[in-house]
Amino acid sequence: MLRVTKASVESLMILMEEDENMRKLVSLLLLVAMLGTLPVLPAVAEGAQEPLTVTVFVGEARDQPTSDNKIFKKIEEEFGLKFEFEFLAGDLNETLGVKIAGQDYADLMDGGNYAEKLIEAGALIDLMPYISQEKTPNIYAYIEPYLGRLLNDAGQLFIIPNYGRYYNTEEYGMNYVNGPAFFLQKKVLAWAGYPMIKTLDEYFDLIERYVAANPTNDKGAKNEGFAILCDDWRAFCLFNPVQHLMGRPNDGDVIVDIDNNYKTEAYVIQDYAKPYYKKLNEMYHKGLISQDTFVMNYDQYIAKLSSGTVVGMFDQAWDFNNATDALKAAEMFDSTYQGLPIVYSAEQAGKEITEHYLNGTVINVNRGFGISVNCQHPERMVQFMEKMLDDEWQKIIWWGVEGEDYSMENGRFVRTYDQIQNAANAVWRNANSAYVLTNSMPKKQGEMDDGNKWDPLVQPECYYLMMNDYDKDFLTHYNMKRPLDFFNDPIKLAPYGEAWQIDSTVNQDANDAKLAFQDLERKMLPQIIMCEESEFDAKWDAFVTAVKDIPITDFVDFMQEQILNLVAKNTAK
């Protein structure tokens, strides 16, 4: 083919030299020939727009999707959009700080847990001008019930939440524990004869007995009683437990008394926080908490959990998914974790506590994509998100392609065991899922109109198929169907939502106080846990004084005000 072309060009060249007129003709012919050799453009689907490459920043470390990823191909065919990803490498807070300093924003920015920084720095545009019932019916329906919580005081919206909008159901919609809990290896509960563990004392007592009887695991590695992750923002594992022990769901750094006019306080410095750290101090001196736990980073933590030597810890399940996957991959099913709703005894708390670990459905305020000021096509981006909220696209996002990734049986969405395994496989996802993009986009959760669940993990058929035999057997001993049955039903969400979502960066003093507070917690709480028992009270008092001297009221008063505002906004409606 090539040779023929070359030969014909050569003969044309000879002709060209002979005649001036011929030359013009030949040039024309050559031009036509060149146009013919241009790569054939992909067949343009109906409604497609001119091709556009969109740059995307995602504040999490992920893999690049493969170039022939089947879902991204579909998106390109329908919307003419190509995506260029930048994933997080290193520390998110720093990366954003540097990006802000250089005004170096991708078109779509997912600032993860520090998204407020982007808003504060003016990196994102207000989306409300692009959203209306007529122009974007899907998005409007998506945010409408939560407008009171989503819009700021100026009526602006910078990020359409990526999770937490439940359709057709008020139900929590999970079968598994994804949030906070005191976790314990399943084999420990099995060893003890499947008891119900409810209080802090019972929990640590079991850990103590288990480690005494089993100093090493079945591979001969030393067992560690209780791990505490203290790395960066994940240090919530160190200070969040107190509010849950007091029977409240996750409100971040404060605890809110909903029965007492939403009175807000910083719980770590209250008297009821002391028994928890006293207990940890005791456990430390018994050798059940290793000193290394206070200096390990997140990767080391995951590595430790994955090795199956950590008996228990407080955490949120999504925070150690990687370790759970690793344990399953190594078929160490008995070393995976069961979350337990541990609370204080009446004596420790000063009152009777009912556990309330689970909140009702929560809209994920300020988490997901914002459109940056550098984006040239904001209208098109919003329209893209709008179209992706169509049921047809939502099915692709959640379930994939029918016949390949799932099938329909009697009106139900089902997956085979292999399809379920695929969906959990990171390498498979690189080529067959647009997860890296859609994870940050608004999504429907809850139920479809026909009663199927949007999230395959929540679809009962898939969930039971996915559970391994060990887990099924484990739950049978408890006479339960789901790991979630260990918990009380979710409480209806308070009108202010979850207080951790409240953005304190808008108030410099409150923000300075909050960061100073967290620094003190990270620095002094480990020292308190490790100190001699005789020094405990003095160290505790020093900590409380230091926090009060910040002054912490700068932060707490701000939170109190915001919570009352939100309550007023959301109950008036």
Binding site for another protein (CB under 8 A): 93-94, 97-98, 100-103, 117, 120-123, 222, 230-231, 235, 290-292, 294-295, 297, 373, 505, 511, 515, 519, 522-523, 526-527, 530
The amino acid sitting at 9 is V
**Secondary structure element (H or E) that encloses residue 472, with its range:** helix 469-478
Any idea how long the chain is?
Answer: 573
**Residue 242 Cβ vs another protein, minimum distance, rounded to whole Å:** 18
Shorter beta-carbon distance to another protein: residue 343 or 525: 525
**Residue 68 Cβ vs another protein, minimum distance, rounded to whole Å:** 34
**Residue 123 Cβ vs another protein, minimum distance, rounded to whole Å:** 7
**Secondary structure element (H or E) that encloses residue 339, with its range:** strand 337-340
Shorter beta-carbon distance to another protein: residue 103 or 476: 103
**Residue 551 Cβ vs another protein, minimum distance, rounded to whole Å:** 15
Q: Tell me if residue 202 falls in helix, strand or coil.
A: helix
Nearest-angstrom CA–CA distance, 253 and 542:
19
Shorter beta-carbon distance to another protein: residue 123 or 494: 123
Shorter beta-carbon distance to another protein: residue 105 or 474: 105
Do residues 283 and 204 touch, judged by C-beta distance below 8 A? yes
Q: Which residues face 224 on adjacent strands?
A: 310
**Residue 139 Cβ vs another protein, minimum distance, rounded to whole Å:** 26
Shorter beta-carbon distance to another protein: residue 261 or 291: 291
Nearest to 369 by CA among 546, 125, 147, 206: 125
Residue 344: both structure tokens together: 């204080």
Query: How big is the CA angle at 336 (ends 299 and 186), to the nearest 5 degrees?
Result: 140
Residue 474: both structure tokens together: 């484990």
Largest CA distance in the chain: 107
**Residue 474 Cβ vs another protein, minimum distance, rounded to whole Å:** 31
Nearest-angstrom CA–CA distance, 486 and 489:
9
* All residues at 6 or more sequence positions from 499 whose CB lies less than 8 Å from its CB, including other chains: 251, 252, 254, 256, 264, 559, 563
Shorter beta-carbon distance to another protein: residue 261 or 527: 527
Shorter beta-carbon distance to another protein: residue 233 or 417: 233
Shorter beta-carbon distance to another protein: residue 94 or 347: 94
Shorter beta-carbon distance to another protein: residue 491 or 530: 530
Residue 421: both structure tokens together: 């395994």
Do residues 529 and 543 touch, judged by C-beta distance below 8 A? no
**Residue 472 Cβ vs another protein, minimum distance, rounded to whole Å:** 36
* All residues at 6 or more sequence positions from 257 whose CB lies less than 8 Å from its CB, including other chains: 263, 264
**Residue 94 Cβ vs another protein, minimum distance, rounded to whole Å:** 6
* All residues at 6 or more sequence positions from 419 whose CB lies less than 8 Å from its CB, including other chains: 405, 406
Shorter beta-carbon distance to another protein: residue 152 or 291: 291
Do residues 414 and 342 touch, judged by C-beta distance below 8 A? no
**Residue 290 Cβ vs another protein, minimum distance, rounded to whole Å:** 6
**Residue 565 Cβ vs another protein, minimum distance, rounded to whole Å:** 24
The amino acid sitting at 405 is D
Shorter beta-carbon distance to another protein: residue 322 or 505: 505
Handedness of CA 391, 393, 396, 397 (dihedral sign): negative
Nearest-angstrom CA–CA distance, 496 and 565:
8
Shorter beta-carbon distance to another protein: residue 293 or 422: 293
**Residue 93 Cβ vs another protein, minimum distance, rounded to whole Å:** 5
**Residue 101 Cβ vs another protein, minimum distance, rounded to whole Å:** 6
Nearest-angstrom CA–CA distance, 359 and 185:
24
Provide DSSP, 275-334: HHHHHHHHHHHTTSS-GGGGT--HHHHHHHHHTT-EEEEEEEGGGGHHHHHHHHHTT-GG
**Secondary structure element (H or E) that encloses residue 187, with its range:** helix 186-191
* All residues at 6 or more sequence positions from 481 whose CB lies less than 8 Å from its CB, including other chains: 475
**Residue 114 Cβ vs another protein, minimum distance, rounded to whole Å:** 9
Cis peptide before 241 (omega within 30 of 0): no
Residue whose pair of structure tokens reads 């459109």 in the numeric block: 371
First to last CA, the chain: 72
Shorter beta-carbon distance to another protein: residue 315 or 447: 315
Residue whose pair of structure tokens reads 């900590």 in the numeric block: 543
- Cα 210 to Cα 187, 191, 203, 222, 567: the distances in Å are 10, 8, 11, 12, 46
**Residue 536 Cβ vs another protein, minimum distance, rounded to whole Å:** 17
Shorter beta-carbon distance to another protein: residue 285 or 482: 285
